[in-house]
C-alpha cells in the first residue's frame, strides 16, 4: 500500500470519528437532565426537569417539588388573643405509669391439676359408681370395682404367708421365723405396688379371705372430663379409665398483639371480665408468655393463672383480659397537648408573656388521656394543653409570611412603626371561593387618612396532612384610590378559614400590620 493511499484512509477515518462524536454529543445533549432554556430577557437559566413556572395562587411553594414539613416559627400572642382561641397550659411531669393492655382470651383447664385413673393390674370391671362425664367426685371416693385374677392370687399368697408366720413363730425360733416374716413382707409389698390402699390390706388381714372385687378410689377432687370405665370391660394397666380436672384454678390464654408483648413479663397483674357476669372481675397474674406467634393473627398467647371460686369460669369461655404492665416513672403530658403535624409530633412550649415555641417531640405509649414523652421535653416544662391545632396554623402562618410577602429592597435594619387604624373588608363579605374585591381604609391616630404607602394583603391556609391538603396562599397588592382608600382583588382557590395578614410599607419599612381570620364560603 502506497503512502498516498494510507493518508487517504487516515483522513476518512478522522472524518468518520468526528461525525460519530458529534452525533453522540447531540443525543446526550437532548437527553440531559438540565436542558438550557432562554428567558425573555435573553439570559440562559439552567432548570431541572421538574421545574414549574412560578405563580402566585398555588398550593405549597411554587418553585419546588419538595414535600418537606412546614417550618414552624415561635408565636407571640396577646392575652386577649390567647383567650379568644382558648389556650390553656399544663406542666410536663414524671409519674409512675401502668400500661393497660386489652386483649381477647379464653378459659382453659390448668394442666397441672389434671389426674388420671389407671390400674396396675389387668382385670374386669364389675360395678361403676362414677358413670357420667363432668360428674364431680371427691378425693377418696370409690369410682368402680374390679376383679383381677392376679390380684386375687397375690392376696392369697399374703394370707398364706401370714398363716405360715403364725405357725412358725409358735414352734420354731431363729432362721425359720425370720424367713416367715420375710415372706409376709414380700406379699404385702406386692399388694402396695398394685396400689392397694392400706385400709384394704388391713381388711384382708381381719377377714382372712381374699376379695374377688376391689374398689378403686379417686386420687383427687374434681370433675370427670374423660371416662372409659364401663361395666364388664376388660382393662390393662395402660388403659386410661378416668381423667379428673380440678377447676378451682384455671388458665386464661390472652391473645396479645406481637407489637405489645414486649411490655409484658411474668408476674404482671391481669383482670378478666365475662359477659355472663356483668360488673364482676377475676384477678390473676401472668404465668408464662408462650414462645410462639400465630401466623394468621400475629398474636402471642399469654397465660394467666386465675382462681376460680364457684367454678364460674368454664373451660372454653371467651373472656376480656385487661393486663396492667408497669412502665415505671415516665415523663407524661396530656394527649391534647401533642399535635400530629404530618409525620412530626409537636408540642408548644409556653415561654411566658404570650411567647409560645413549637417543639418537635418523640412520644411513646398513649395511656388513657396522657401520652409518654421520650424526647423533646423535660420535667417542669410548661406546655399548651389545648388549642394546639390553632397554634399550629398561627406558627405556619408566621413562618410562611416572609416567603409570600412582596420583596423588600434595601430594607433598613430598624423598621419604624406608626400608630395607624386599619379597616379591612371584602366584597362579597364574607369572601367566597374565586375572585374577591378587597377594601382597605387607613387612618392615623389623629383620624386623618394615611397616603403614600404600599399595602398588601396575604391570605394563608396551613396544610392539613390528615385530609391530604397542602398549604395554600394568595397575595394581593392594593392600589391607592385616594383619601386613605386602597383597593385590589384576590383569587381564593378554596373556601374555609384563611389567616389574613395586612402589611403596610412606607418605602422599604413595614410601618403597620394586622392579622385576622376570615372564613370563606364555597367549599374546599
Looking at the fold, whether 444 and 478 belong to one and the same domain comes out as: yes
Range of lowest pLDDT (73-82, 261-270, 407-416): 407-416
Closest CA to 440 of 475, 485, 481: 485
The model's confidence at residue 494, banded by pLDDT at 50, 70 and 90, is confident
Give the per-residue pLDDT at 233. Answer: 95
Q: Is the pTM for the entire model greater than 0.75?
A: no
Looking at the fold, whether 341 and 367 belong to one and the same domain comes out as: yes
Task: Write out the residue range of the structural domain in which residue 126 sits.
Answer: 117-239
The model's confidence at residue 114, banded by pLDDT at 50, 70 and 90, is very high
Considering only residues 411 and 147, tell me which one the structure prediction assigns the higher pLDDT: 147
Averaged pLDDT for residues 99-120? 93
The per-residue pLDDT for range 336-380, each reduced to its tens digit, is: 888 887 788 888 888 887 788 888 999 988 887 889 999 999 999
Domain's final residue, options 326, 356, 379 = 326
Looking at the fold, whether 408 and 497 belong to one and the same domain comes out as: yes
Residue 261 has pLDDT above 60, yes or no: yes
Question: Looking at the domain assignment, is residue 50 inside a domain?
Answer: no
Question: Looking at the domain assignment, is residue 33 inside a domain?
Answer: no
Is the separation of the CB atoms in 269 and 323 below 8 Å?
Answer: yes
Looking at the fold, whether 354 and 427 belong to one and the same domain comes out as: no
Considering only residues 73 and 171, tell me which one the structure prediction assigns the higher pLDDT: 73
Measure the CA–CA gap between 111 and 118, rounded to whole angstroms.
18
**% of the chain with per-residue pLDDT over 90:** 40
Give the per-residue pLDDT at 358. Answer: 86
Question: Looking at the domain assignment, is residue 26 inside a domain?
Answer: no
Domain's final residue, options 239, 272, 297 = 239
Residue 63 has pLDDT above 50, yes or no: no
The model's confidence at residue 45, banded by pLDDT at 50, 70 and 90, is very low
Tell me, what CATH number does 358's domain have? 2.40.420.20
Mean pLDDT for the chain overall: 80
Closest CA to 166 of 152, 153, 182, 181: 181
The model's confidence at residue 457, banded by pLDDT at 50, 70 and 90, is very high
Residues written for the chain: 524
Give the per-residue pLDDT at 328. Answer: 82
Closest CA to 128 of 196, 202, 218, 210: 218
The per-residue pLDDT for range 205-238, each reduced to its tens digit, is: 777 777 788 889 999 999 999 999 999 999 999 9
Looking at the fold, whether 345 and 430 belong to one and the same domain comes out as: no
Give the per-residue pLDDT at 389. Answer: 59
Looking at the fold, whether 424 and 508 belong to one and the same domain comes out as: yes
Give the per-residue pLDDT at 44. Answer: 36
The model's confidence at residue 240, banded by pLDDT at 50, 70 and 90, is very high
Question: Looking at the domain assignment, is residue 1 inside a domain?
Answer: no
The total number of structural domains that make up the chain: 4
Residue 77 has pLDDT above 50, yes or no: yes
Give the per-residue pLDDT at 403. Answer: 44
Question: Looking at the domain assignment, is residue 453 inside a domain?
Answer: yes
Tell me, what CATH number does 515's domain have? 2.60.40.1930
Looking at the fold, whether 305 and 283 belong to one and the same domain comes out as: yes
Helix, strand or coil, per DSSP, at residue 366: strand
Maximum mean pLDDT: which of 31-35, 250-254, 432-436: 250-254
Domain's final residue, options 326, 341, 364 = 326
Looking at the fold, whether 128 and 170 belong to one and the same domain comes out as: yes
Give the per-residue pLDDT at 60. Answer: 43
Residue 326 has pLDDT above 90, yes or no: no
Averaged pLDDT for residues 168-188? 63
Measure the CA–CA gap between 109 and 297, rounded to whole angstroms.
23
Range of lowest pLDDT (21-35, 377-391, 428-442, 469-483): 21-35
Question: Looking at the domain assignment, is residue 92 inside a domain?
Answer: yes
Measure the CA–CA gap between 366 and 335, rounded to whole angstroms.
7
Looking at the fold, whether 316 and 170 belong to one and the same domain comes out as: no
The model's confidence at residue 466, banded by pLDDT at 50, 70 and 90, is low
Maximum mean pLDDT: which of 163-167, 302-306, 351-355: 302-306
**% of the chain with per-residue pLDDT over 70:** 76
Residue 407 has pLDDT above 60, yes or no: no
The model's confidence at residue 48, banded by pLDDT at 50, 70 and 90, is very low
Give the per-residue pLDDT at 169. Answer: 57
What Cα–Cα distance (Å) separates residue 314 from each residue in 107, 109, 302? 6, 9, 18
Considering only residues 435 and 414, tell me which one the structure prediction assigns the higher pLDDT: 435
Looking at the fold, whether 121 and 224 belong to one and the same domain comes out as: yes
Looking at the fold, whether 154 and 219 belong to one and the same domain comes out as: yes
Question: Looking at the domain assignment, is residue 163 inside a domain?
Answer: yes
DSSP character string of 457-477: EEEEE--BGGGTB--EEEEEE
What Cα–Cα distance (Å) separates residue 342 from each residue in 7, 70, 254, 465? 71, 9, 35, 5
Residue 73 has pLDDT above 80, yes or no: no
Question: Looking at the domain assignment, is residue 262 inside a domain?
Answer: yes
Tell me, what CATH number does 287's domain have? 2.40.30.170
Give the per-residue pLDDT at 50. Answer: 42
Looking at the fold, whether 188 and 234 belong to one and the same domain comes out as: yes
Amino acid at each position: 500500500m502506497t503512502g498516498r493511499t494510507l493518508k487517504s484512509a487516515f483522513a476518512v477515518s478522522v472524518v468518520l470519528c468526528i461525525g460519530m462524536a458529534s452525533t453522540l454529543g447531540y443525543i446526550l445533549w437532548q437527553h440531559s437532565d438540565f436542558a438550557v432554556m432562554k428567558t425573555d430577557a435573553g439570559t440562559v437559566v439552567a432548570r431541572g426537569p421538574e421545574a414549574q413556572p412560578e405563580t402566585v395562587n398555588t398550593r405549597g411553594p411554587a418553585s419546588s417539588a419538595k414535600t418537606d414539613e412546614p417550618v414552624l416559627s415561635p408565636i407571640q400572642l396577646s392575652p386577649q388573643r390567647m383567650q379568644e382561641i382558648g389556650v390553656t397550659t399544663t406542666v410536663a411531669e414524671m409519674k409512675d405509669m401502668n400500661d393497660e393492655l386489652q386483649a381477647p382470651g379464653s378459659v382453659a383447664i390448668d394442666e397441672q391439676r389434671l389426674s388420671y385413673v389407671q390400674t396396675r393390674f389387668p382385670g374386669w370391671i364389675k360395678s361403676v359408681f362414677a358413670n357420667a362425664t363432668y360428674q364431680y367426685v371427691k378425693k377418696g371416693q370409690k369410682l368402680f370395682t374390679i376383679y383381677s385374677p392376679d390380684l386375687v392370687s397375690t392376696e392369697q399368697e399374703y394370707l398364706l404367708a401370714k398363716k405360715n408366720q403364725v405357725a412358725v413363730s409358735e414352734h420354731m425360733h431363729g432362721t425359720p421365723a425370720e424367713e416367715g416374716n420375710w415372706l409376709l413382707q414380700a406379699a404385702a409389698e406386692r399388694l402396695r405396688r398394685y396400689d392397694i390402699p392400706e385400709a384394704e390390706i388391713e381388711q384382708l388381714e381381719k377377714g382372712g379371705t381374699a376379695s374377688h372385687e376391689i374398689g378403686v378410689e379417686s386420687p383427687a377432687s374434681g370433675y370427670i372430663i374423660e371416662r372409659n370405665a364401663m361395666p364388664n370391660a376388660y382393662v390393662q394397666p395402660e388403659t386410661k379409665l378416668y381423667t379428673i380436672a380440678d377447676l378451682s384454678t384455671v388458665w386464661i390464654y390472652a391473645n396479645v398483639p406481637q407489637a405489645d408483648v414486649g411490655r409484658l413479663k411474668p408476674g404482671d397483674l391481669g383482670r378478666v371480665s365475662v359477659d355472663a357476669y356483668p360488673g364482676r372481675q377475676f384477678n390473676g397474674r401472668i404465668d408464662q408468655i408462650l414462645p410462639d406467634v400465630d401466623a394468621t393473627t400475629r398474636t402471642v398467647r399469654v397465660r394467666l393463672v386465675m382462681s376460680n371460686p364457684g367454678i364460674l369460669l368454664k373451660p372454653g369461655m371467651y373472656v376480656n383480659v385487661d393486663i396492667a404492665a408497669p412502665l415505671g416513672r415516665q415523663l407524661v403530658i396530656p394527649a391534647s397537648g401533642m399535635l400530629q403535624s404530618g409525620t412530626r409530633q409537636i408540642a408548644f412550649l409556653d415561654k411566658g408573656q404570650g411567647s409560645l415555641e413549637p417543639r418537635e417531640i418523640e412520644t411513646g405509649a398513649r395511656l388513657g388521656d396522657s401520652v409518654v414523652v421520650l424526647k423533646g421535653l423535660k420535667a417542669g416544662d410548661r406546655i399548651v394543653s389545648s388549642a394546639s391545632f390553632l397554634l399550629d396554623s398561627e406558627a405556619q402562618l408566621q413562618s410562611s409570611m416572609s416567603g409570600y410577602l412582596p420583596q423588600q429592597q434595601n430594607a433598613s435594619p430598624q423598621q419604624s412603626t406608626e400608630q395607624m387604624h386599619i379597616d379591612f373588608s371584602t366584597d362579597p363579605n364574607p369572601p367566597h371561593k374565586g375572585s374577591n374585591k378587597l377594601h382597605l381604609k387607613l387612618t392615623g391616630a389623629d383620624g386623618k387618612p394615611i397616603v403614600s404607602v404600599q399595602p398588601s394583603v396575604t391570605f394563608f391556609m396551613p396544610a392539613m396532612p390528615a385530609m391530604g391538603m397542602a398549604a395554600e396562599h394568595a397575595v394581593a397588592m392594593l392600589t391607592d384610590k385616594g383619601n386613605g382608600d386602597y383597593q385590589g382583588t384576590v383569587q381564593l382557590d378554596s373556601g374555609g378559614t384563611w389567616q389574613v395578614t395586612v402589611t403596610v410599607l412606607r418605602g422599604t419599612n413595614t410601618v403597620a400590620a394586622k392579622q385576622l381570620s376570615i372564613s370563606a364560603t364555597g367549599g374546599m
